[in-house]
Structure 1
Amino acid sequence: MTTFQLLLLIVAGGVFYLFFKQLFSGNHPKRGVDFEAKVADEQIGGINRPDKTFSTPSVQPTRMEQLLKMTDDAVEKKDFEEAKKALGSALIIEENNTKVLQKMGYVCMQTGEFEEAKESYEKLLSLDDTDDMAHALLANVLHKLSDEEGAEKHHERALLLDPEYAPHHFNYANTLYELGRKKEALVGYTKAYELDDTLEEAKKMMKELGSDNE
Structure 2
Amino acid sequence: MTLFQFILLLAAATIFYLFFRQLFSGNYPRRGVDFEAKLPEEQIGGINRPDKTFSKAKEPKSRLQELLEIADDSLEKGDNLEAKKALQSALVIAERDPEVLRRLGVVYMRMNDYVDAREIYETLLDIDPDDDLAHSSLANALHRLGEDEEALHHHGEAIRLDPDYAPHHYNYANTLYDLGRREEALAEYRKALELDPQLEEAKKMIGELER
TM-score norm. by structure 2 comes to: 0.81
Matches within 5 A, 1:141-180: 141-180=141-180
State the shift of 1:38 in Å: 2.2
- For the residue of structure 2 that corresponds to 1:183, the secondary structure is helix
State the shift of 1:85 in Å: 0.8
Per-residue CA deviations over 1:132-177 (Å, capped at 9, x if unaligned) read 0000000000001111011001000001101111111111000000
Aligned-partner Cα distance in 2 for 1:165–1:203: 16
Aligned-partner Cα distance in 1 for 2:104–2:132: 17
Corresponding residue of 2:64? 64
State the shift of 1:53 in Å: 4.6
Aligned-partner Cα distance in 2 for 1:162–1:116: 25
Per-residue CA deviations over 1:83-134 (Å, capped at 9, x if unaligned) read 1111011111011100000000000111111111111111000000000000
* 1:42 to 2:42 alignment: yes
Corresponding residue of 2:20? none
State the shift of 1:30 in Å: 5.6
Corresponding residue of 1:201? 201
Report if aligned partners of 1:43, 1:55 keep a CA contact under 8 Å in 2.
Answer: no
Aligned-partner Cα distance in 2 for 1:111–1:119: 15
In structure 1, the gaps of 5 or more residues are 1-28
In structure 2, the gaps of 5 or more residues are 1-26
State the shift of 1:78 in Å: 1.3
Matches within 5 A, 1:79-90: 79-90=79-90
Per-residue CA deviations over 1:47-84 (Å, capped at 9, x if unaligned) read 77x7x752111121111110000101111221111111
Number of aligned residue pairs: give it: 182
Corresponding residue of 2:93? 93
Corresponding residue of 1:15? none
Between 1:85-94 and 1:53-62, the stretch displaced more is 53-62
Deviation beyond 6 Å, 4+ runs, structure 1: none
Identity %: 54
